[in-house]
Structure 1
Amino acid sequence: MSKKNNEEIYDAIVIGTGVSGGWAAKELSEQGLKILVLERGRMVKHVEDYPTMNMDTWDFENRGLTASNQPKTQEKQARSGYTTHEASRHWFVNDLKHPYNEKKRFDWLRGYHVGGRSIMWGRQVLRLSDLDFEANKKEGIAVDWPIRYKDIAPWYDKVEAYIGVSAEKLNLPQLPDGIFTPPMELNCVETEFRNKLHENYTNRHLTIGRFANITGDKIYEGRGKCLHRNRCIRGCPYGAYFSSNSTTLPAADRSGNMTLRPNSIVSKIIYDDAKKLATGVEVIDAITHEKIQFSAKIIFCCASTVASAAILLNSTSKRFPNGLGNDSGELGHNLMDHHFQVGATALVEGFDDKYYTGKRPASFHIPRFRNLGDAKTKQKYLRGYGFQGSASRTKWSRAIKEMSFGEDLKEELFKPGPWKIGMTAFGECLPYHENKMTLNYEKLNEWGLPTVTFDCEFKENEKEMRKDIQQEAINMMKAAGFKNVEGYDNPCFPGNAIHEMGTARMGHDPKTSVLNKNNQIHAVPNVYVTDGACMTSSPYQNPSLTYMALTARAAHHAVQQLKENKF
């Protein structure tokens, strides 16, 4: 490969353009810093590059289902079910072009393009609480979070006010309320379920989920209100849900301070032994394979949990032979993801005269009700879970197994089918040191970089939790009077929830953690890591809101440090 140095020195380099990278770009550029934003994948422009955003089922060959003769380029990702529909499979990477290795199964779902997985994410945005931030310390698990809820609460406010979060307030200590736009509606069966939970339990609350989809009358620059198409994963032409493409990257661009460079694979961060600081990054151009060095005073590593750890591990030097900032030996360890695909389903009678309009892009949510710090909710396993689910009327496909035909069949197909309700839980995974990712220098990718090897599994605490999840889902649906209640516990592997986190955890002590309370690498203070890699534990809540809040907080800190000539 040829090498060259870019002579411009930026104030900051941001690696990655997902939810964290987009927020870093916005905050740093709007505060006057000249920034370079690097994305390893192709350019995706808002609206212009969403090819399936307005297509209907009949517009797709095979009605959108992947043909059996389709080239097998996503076999690992297909195990998860996320890549089986033509409407969105183009957002997920080619497994053959971007291979990885597994000592134990890990479903690594990736999107290499500008915007990253902020285009395809589930949009559920839930705050953490001090129940979560204090858990490790109280239980003697792993290391203590170096922050508490009060440290991040103002940044949750900032992010929610900017992205738009439709929700209702609950006044629950385990799920703090935020700044919300009007909530989407529960349908009649979901409302009935909520009422029955209140009748039968004192600490179980069903609410509409908290989603980053715009509702209400507030005006968001360049974005429109959600139209309930439920095609979010394709890219929304109205910008109705938050993504980097529709929101933070355009804001950074409007500042006039951002240079965005796609097709730029960051191979390592460059460390200067004399300055004891990072001085820039080395990039491999994904198209030409040329190596280029870019210089900056500050580096924000927002490439995603696994990719950020891979970059740091590959950033070796005399000072850091085992990876940049890896004095603790914890880099790549403590890999976590939520476990899910366990819950219950049921049929619901008595609402045959009721229906709903639109395709609401939100599920209901039952916040955590286990291990809340009191004797009544204490279980033999640690931590907790929350449910997400929905109720709907079954559709025409129910008639496939019917024996009717002709006019009777046609008449039946025009009628909505019976009501069905289902829910799955998202449960916390403890931070185990032995759950890890490493770099394999014997198996290189096409750019000559080491591939990632996963060695990660759910353990006994998670398995005990899953037993309780299934039983309580059954109990709640039976208490509500639903029929044909069936529990399920499908196989679930780390990575499948797409909430991977923890490979460069925050902590108080450089001997046991990679990052400090401000998301700086302990020994390299001008490198900030603010994506999922920074997480010290994996509370049950969907984590993206926390990544965004931590990123905004860290960007504010970095600007102040730069103004004080600390770097």
Structure 2
Amino acid sequence: MNKDMYIKEQNNKFDVLIVGSGITGGWAAKEFCERGFKTLMIERGRVVEHRKDYISEGKPVWDYANRTKVDNLLVEQQHKIQKDCYAFHDGTKHFFGNDRDLPYETSEKTDFRWIRANQLGGKSLLWHRQSYRMCADDFLANKRDGVGIDWPIRYHDLAEWYSYVEKFVGVSGSKENLPNLPDGEFQAPFAMRGPEKALKAAIEKAYPGRSLIMGRAAHLTEPTMLHMSQGRVQCQARNECQKGCSFGAYFSTQSSTLPAAAETNNLSIAANSVVHSLIYDEKRNRVIGVRVIDNDDLSTREYFADVVFLCASTIGSTQIMLNSTSKTFPNGIANSSGVLGHYLMDHNYNAVARGDLDGFEDEYYKGRRPSSCYMPNYQTRPELYRKGYLRGFAYGIDTYRGDWRGMSYQDGIGSDYKDQLSKPGKWGAVFAAQGEMLPHFDNQMSLHPTKKDKWGIPQIVFDVQYRDNEKAMMDDAAQLGAEMLAAGGCTNIKSSTSYELPERAPGIAIHEVGTARMGRDPKTSVLNQHCQSHDIPNLFVTDGSGYCSSGVVNPSLTFMALTARAVDYCAKEIKAQRL
């Protein structure tokens, strides 16, 4: 990367300002730079250079003082929230935020988990890389149910953009011809294990309409010339992705979109730059720039451009908008509708079923496959809903063979016990549900009237909770998972829900969406069908903020498609001199 790309003080006006450098910020930068626009990417955290700054990559478990467990005192002081993330451990903690410096508030009935990754690349260095398209029914659900507002787009509006980003990203998966999970542009899928193939055959026979497939993940299994030209090569199946991947085998800003943007010489990056608010010209009704506070010395500066794209995450972008007030917008910029900050949703990962799988003693597996199996949502339309709740859920499905880690908790002593530890144990299978969360006006984020963080920005107050629909869904998902495991031949089956546990509160799925929703009517929505503000033509928000419903699938692939589509639209509007 060219060192001249990184700036601090800057008097020049840019064509485009992009706030955030994660999955959507990286895509916006790539698309604008390749179209010839002088682009400034603003990142509140430090610079992370590809390969150089993956400081724990390849470090084996036994080289950590506590086998990757983070010291309890450090957790208590800095990571009380972050520790609940599946990817947090001693080899990844440097990519997570420091909770002590990033305070927020919750209402009495809320225990929200806000996972932070403030560095160049954002959470693209930490995501779980599951890459699924929303289906046609997802964009119709609100209209059919009368919950929330209708999406202003349909699947066909995004289909070509899904293909566009999939080819660049590199997604492994299998063609299945399922209406509830559209196929994409896939590289070869990872292989199913023998027990998974058996489960698939048994469950699909017992439950027509339910499909067990290999997960679709942003990992290169058959890198193309495009990918290799970026320095990306085939996935090595180490499953240490959150430490950073020098192979570039999984998609991240650092491995893919950032090099593409930098190659154009149209990109500048302002790191360690915390965006305080947007600068609004009331006479012209345009956002003309951003106010920034230095992450280190707390000095202030401003950057200016013709167009602003907010890609700071659903919560981050909405916080900036709520903190940008004026006579025209006293309750947050572009908030004439009054819905900014409301309808916050996250996915509902709160039901699990597991059991033992007899047989397959001659089966094992090698490597550490970085993706598991998947059962897509089969309750996509009202006539398919189960009694007692709306919408549906998917399952992440995995099989595993017991080893010394599990057997170390069993009773035993002496040489016979030690000998057992060296032998593989029984096979097991697990079904973990991922459910939809309905849009509710009262599930919201707002700014605290008096409390501020160290940059002088009002702290966020979260008032978000799982409601009866989400709880009934997870109760059912736990039961259905157990039934399917039984149909697959499992024994010793146990199932449970966890929505009542603080560490499983909303936010922990890290799929927050919906706080600046799209819509056809400016009176009830913040953005139009192109992720463009209804109120201010040159302001776009292309992270998860624009969602009208959460759907069931992991959202990152849709974030990318929406961003690429929005940039294409914006570039045409600039050319037509309408912005």
Taking the TM superposition and a 5 Å limit, the aligned residue runs for 1:329-368 are 329-368=338-377
Aligned residues: 563
Given the alignment, which residue of 18, 24, 30 partners 1:26?
30
Q: Which residue of 2 aligns with 1:468?
A: 476
Contact 2:134/2:558, CA 8 A, preserved across alignment? yes
Q: Which residue number in structure 1 is paired with residue 19 of structure 2?
A: 15
Q: Aligned partner of 2:120: which letter?
A: V
Q: Which residue of the partner structure matches residue 72 of structure 2?
A: 68
Q: 1:143, 1:507 within 8 Å by CA — same for their partners in 2?
A: yes
Indicate if the aligned counterparts of 2:85 and 2:115 stay in contact, CA closer than 8 A: no
SS at match of 1:561: helix
Shift of residue 454, structure 1, vs aligned partner: 0.2
After TM superposition, list the pairs within 5 Å mapping 1:140-539 onto structure 2: 140-219=146-225, 220=227, 221-374=230-383, 377-490=385-498, 491=501, 492-539=504-551
> Any idea what SS the aligned residue of 1:521 has?
coil
Root-mean-square deviation over aligned CA pairs: 1.5
What do the CA deviations read for 1:300-332 (whole angstroms, capped 9, x no partner)?
A: 000000010000011111111111100000000
Unaligned regions of 5+ residues in structure 2, if any? 1-7
> 2:553 maps to what in 1?
541
Q: 1: distance between equivalents of 2:82 and 2:290?
A: 33
**Unaligned stretches of 5+ residues in structure 1:** none
Q: 2:100 aligns with which of 96, 101, 123?
A: 96
| Range with greater deviation from structure 2 (488-497 or 474-483) | 488-497
Amino acid at match of 1:527: L
* Match for residue 49 of structure 2 among 45, 69, 72: 45
* Residue 373 of structure 1: how far off its partner (Å): 4.5
Give 2:3's aligned residue: none
Superposition deviation, residue 66 in structure 1: 1.5
- Structure 2 Cα separation of the partners of residues 494 and 80 of structure 1: 12
Aligned to 1:557: 569
Per-residue CA deviations over 1:333-392 (Å, capped at 9, x if unaligned) read 000000113120000111111100100000110011124343x55533111100002101
Residue type at the aligned position of 1:353: D
Partner of 2:140: 134
What SS does the corresponding residue of 2:188 show, helix, strand or coil? coil
Residue 223 of structure 2 contacts residue 233 of structure 2 at CA under 8 Å; is this kept in 1?
no
SS at match of 2:416: helix
Aligned partners of 1:77 and 1:83 also within 8 Å: no
In the alignment, which of 113, 127, 138 is matched to residue 107 of structure 1? 113
Identity %: 42
CA distance in 2: counterparts of 1:146 and 1:93, whole angstroms = 35
The SS at the match of 1:525 is coil
User: Helix, strand or coil: the match of 1:434?
Assistant: coil
Asked whether the 8 Å contact 2:385–2:391 carries over to 1, the reply is no
Determine helix, strand or coil for the equivalent of 2:11. strand
Cα distance in 2 for partners of 1:442, 1:556 equals 40
TM-score (norm 1): 0.97
Contact 1:105 1:494 (C-alpha < 8 Å) held by counterparts? yes
Whether the 8 Å CA contact 1:371–1:378 is kept in 2: the answer is no
Q: 1:377 to 1:383 in 2, by over 3 A?
A: closer
CA distance in 1, matches of 2:255, 2:406: 38
**Secondary structure, counterpart of 2:198 in structure 1:** helix
- Which shifted more, 210-219 or 78-87? 78-87
Query: How far, CA to CA, are the matches of 1:410 and 1:72 in structure 2?
Result: 36
Distance 1:83 1:482, change over 3 A: closer
SS in 1 for 2:374: strand
Distance 1:397 1:517 in 2: 50
Quick one: which amino acid aligns to residue 286 of structure 2?
A: L
Cα pair distance change 1:565/1:417, threshold 3 Å: same
Deviates more, 1:482-491 or 1:31-40: 482-491
**TM-score normalised by length of structure 2:** 0.95
What amino acid is the match of 1:68? N
1:288: Cα distance to partner? 2.2
Hey, what's the Cα distance between the residues in 1 that align with 2:91 and 2:144?
46
Asked whether the equivalents of residues 439 and 451 of structure 1 are also in contact (C-alpha less than 8 Å), the reply is yes
Q: Flag the 1:69–1:139 CA change in 2: closer, same or farther, 3 A.
A: closer
Cα distance change on mapping 1:244 and 1:175 into 2, 3 Å:
same
The amino acid of 1:46's aligned partner reads: H
3-state SS, counterpart of residue 63 of structure 1:
coil
Q: Specify the code of the residue in structure 2 equivalent to 1:72.
A: E
Match for 2:484: what amino acid? Answer: M
Q: Decide whether aligned partners of structure 1 residues 252 and 481 sit closer, same or farther in structure 2, where only a CA change above 3 A counts.
A: same
Deviation at 1:460, TM superposition (A): 0.9
Q: Shift of the alpha carbon at 1:405?
A: 3.7
Give the Cα separation in 1 of the matches to 2:129 and 2:87.
Answer: 18
Q: What is the identity, as a one-letter code, of the residue corresponding to 2:184?
A: G
- For 2:242 and 2:282, the matched residues in 1 are separated by 44
Instruction: Tell which deviates more after alignment, 185-194 or 484-493.
Output: 484-493
Q: SS of 1:14's equivalent?
A: strand
**Corresponding letter in the other structure for 1:239:** G
Q: Are the equivalent residues in 2 in contact too, given 1:429–1:538 (CA < 8 A)?
A: yes
CA distance in 2, matches of 1:209, 1:527: 36
Structure 1: distance between partners of 2:445 and 2:304:
28
Q: 2:361 & 2:381 partners in 1: Cα distance?
A: 38
One-letter amino acid of the structure 1 residue matched with residue 156 of structure 2: K
Query: Which letter does structure 2 place at the counterpart of 1:246?
Result: S
- How far 1:457 sits from its partner (Å)? 0.5
Shift of 1:463: 1.1
Q: Aligned partners of 2:246, 2:257: CA distance in 1, in Å?
A: 16
Q: CA deviation at 1:403?
A: 4.5
Distance 1:5 1:226, change over 3 A: closer
1:117-132 alignment runs, 5 A limit: 117-132=123-138
In structure 1, give the amino acid aligned to 2:40: L
For residue 549 of structure 1, give the secondary structure of its aligned residue in structure 2: helix
Q: Check whether the contact 1:6–1:295 (CA below 8 A) recurs between aligned residues.
A: no
User: What secondary structure is seen at the aligned counterpart in 2 of 1:265?
Assistant: strand
- Quote the Cα distance in structure 2 between the aligned partners of 1:111 and 1:40: 10
Q: Deviations over 1:144-170 (max 9, x none)?
A: 111001111110000100000000011
* Aligned amino acid, residue 211 of structure 1: A
